[in-house]
Amino acid sequence: MSAEKQTSEIEEFDAWMDEVASALAWHGGDAEATIRTLLADCKHLREQLALAQIAMGIGYTRGWAPCPERHDEVAR
């Protein structure tokens, strides 16, 4: 692995950890409240995406349609 790629991965991980720390700090360190908020946000965004998908015309997007499911792997 090149040093440049390794540095990039470290920076990406640091940015991700900053986001996690920020989300936890918003809820005073309460992990359960953080997860509940993130799940509620996901639900809201999926509902908004479904509404947008209904309202969009196929010609408007040249055949592209949004997909509510992720195609990348989620860290477990």
Does the model's pTM come out above 0.85?
no
Q: How confident is the model at residue 22 (pLDDT cuts 50, 70, 90)?
A: very high
Question: What does the pLDDT look like over 25-76, one tens digit per residue?
Answer: 999 999 999 999 999 999 999 999 888 888 877 666 677 777 777 777 555 4
Q: Estimate to the nearest angstrom the gap between the alpha carbon of 51 and the chain centroid.
A: 19
b (16+ CB within 10 A) / e for 21-59: eeeeeeeeeeeeebeeeeeeeeeeeeeeeeeeeeeeeee
